[in-house]
Amino acid sequence: MMICFCLFLLHFSLQVSTPQEPQNRVDRRAQAMVNVEGGRKGMDEKISRTEDEWRRVLTPEQFYILRQKGTERAFTGEYWNNHDDGSYLCAACEQELFEADHKYDSGSGWPSFWKPVRKEAVTEHDDLSLFMRRVELVCSRCDSHLGHVFEDGPEPTGLRYCINSASLKFVKRGK
């Protein structure tokens, strides 16, 4: 038992001490952002609210996911199987995040995109929870948790932006 615990600690310490940004991930993200256009006008200002203010404007599920970094169960969200044409906005602040043209079926049970609408729409943070290294995505305008980005997506970026449906608001094109 003690040996297993020691091996676990050794494995975890090696994970934490490895370089934070593998080179190919940097290159793929740079490639994903080349010539990305879009974004809603007037949406550059940061939004800052207290937790009580967020509780008043978000549903309990949205608050759990967006503000407490929760995750909805796979294949249960409103948009995982949505194929309509339009834009996906942050459910908290309505900043445009993703386009339907960049959505694909990853088989994961969450809405998946191969790039955001524009580089500045999302911010990345290292996520070392659950004893693994992941890259968390938050809305750059309101700092709400959206999901994670993985390096198993389709070309041309090779990235999978795996997003909780409760973090999104969908607006059909032309409305």
Q: Taking the model in full, what pTM does it have?
A: 0.75
| H or E element in which residue 160 lies | strand 160-163
Residue 142 annotated among the catalytic residues of the structure: no
Mean pLDDT computed over 75-102 = 97
Question: What is the rounded CA–CA span in Å between residue 57 and residue 3?
Answer: 49
Domain spans in the chain, listed from the N-terminal domain onward: 47-172
SS3 of residue 140 by DSSP: coil
SS3 of residue 119 by DSSP: helix
Tens of pLDDT, residue by residue over 106-163, are: 999 999 999 999 999 999 998 888 777 889 999 999 999 999 999 999 999 999 999 9
The one catalytic residue in 93, 139, 142, 162 is 162
Tell me the one-letter amino acid at 108: S
Class of domain 47-172: mainly beta
Tens of pLDDT, residue by residue over 19-29, are: 333 334 444 44
